[in-house]
């Protein structure tokens, strides 16, 4: 069964496909929307259904929204931008993480005692590597679009911020954004790049963000509502 982590506006949802299904079903639990669809139903068709049911979905999401940490390890999968990837743990001579055929393969050294803490550390290091590659590419793209120039880039592990921009043009991004949809991580890139011109949150700053990322209000709301899910 395939699974995709997607979003339509401020509504984030998990889309799963099954050859056994004959119709599309919407399920809301613990503040999360899951869409179960037959194989062959397109994302566009699912988004059209969500748009029609938006009022109902928003109402029930708000009623069931809970602030908790998603236990991805128990679920046996981890989010990576717009994907939800199954992961496998295996023993090997050297510990490490790699992406293979749509799955995350976590290798644990035979010399190390396999624990959840060790697994989380390996996955965190892997997320940081993914973040460094992805944010380097997106900063290059967006600063070209915005006609701005940044300096060094840092990937951090912070509990209270998603990114930063220093007066020396250094940018920093939280590795946890790799667990969010692409449109959310992209918003943070535009937000921090805008600080290169306005090192504040003035009206001019938000006008610049609005110019290049009109969905910034939806993105801010999504981060506020889903920040507890961006944890291992």
- CA 9 to centroid of chain Cα atoms: 14
Query: Would you place residue 67 in the very low, low, confident or very high pLDDT band (cuts 50, 70, 90)?
Result: very low
The pLDDT score that the predictor gives to residue 133 is: 95
- CATH superfamily of the domain spanning 128-229: Metalloproteases ("zincins"), catalytic domain (3.30.2010.10)
Q: What is the pLDDT of residues 11-43, one digit of tens each?
A: 888 999 988 888 999 988 767 889 999 998 999
Per-domain boundaries in the chain: 3-64, 86-125, 128-229
Integer angstrom CA distances of residue 6 from 106, 126, 157, 184: 24, 22, 24, 11
Enumerate residues 6+ apart whose C-beta is below 8 A from 221. Answer: 10
Cβ atoms of 187 and 219 within 8 Å: the answer is: yes
pLDDT of 113 > 90? The answer is: no
Burial of 17 (0-12, 13-18, 19+ CB in 10 A): middle
> Does pLDDT of 120 surpass 50?
yes
d(CA 171, CA 145): 17
- pLDDT reported for residue 131: 96
């Amino acid at each position: 069964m395939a699974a995709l982590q997607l979003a339509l506006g401020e509504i984030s949802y998990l889309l799963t496909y099954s050859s056994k299904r004959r119709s599309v079903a919407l399920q809301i639990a613990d503040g999360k929307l899951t869409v179960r669809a037959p194989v062959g139903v397109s994302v566009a068709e699912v988004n059209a259904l969500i748009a029609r049911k938006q009022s109902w979905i928003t109402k029930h999401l708000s009623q069931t929204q809970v602030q908790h940490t998603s236990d991805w390890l128990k679920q046996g999968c981890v989010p990576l931008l717009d994907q939800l990837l199954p992961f496998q743990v295996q023993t090997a001579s050297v510990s490490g993480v790699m992406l293979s055929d749509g799955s995350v393969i976590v290798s644990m050294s035979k010399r190390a005692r396999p624990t959840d803490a060790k697994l989380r550390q390996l996955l965190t290091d892997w997320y940081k590597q993914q973040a460094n590659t992805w944010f380097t590419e997106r900063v290059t793209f967006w600063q070209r679009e915005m006609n701005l120039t940044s300096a060094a880039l840092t990937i951090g592990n912070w509990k209270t911020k998603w990114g930063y921009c220093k007066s020396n043009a250094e940018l920093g991004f939280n590795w946890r954004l790799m667990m969010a949809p692409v449109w959310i991580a992209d918003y943070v890139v535009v937000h921090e790049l805008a600080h290169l011109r306005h090192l504040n949150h003035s009206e001019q700053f938000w006008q610049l963000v609005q110019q290049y990322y009109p969905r910034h209000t939806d993105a801010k709301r999504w981060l506020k509502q889903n920040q507890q899910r961006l944890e291992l």
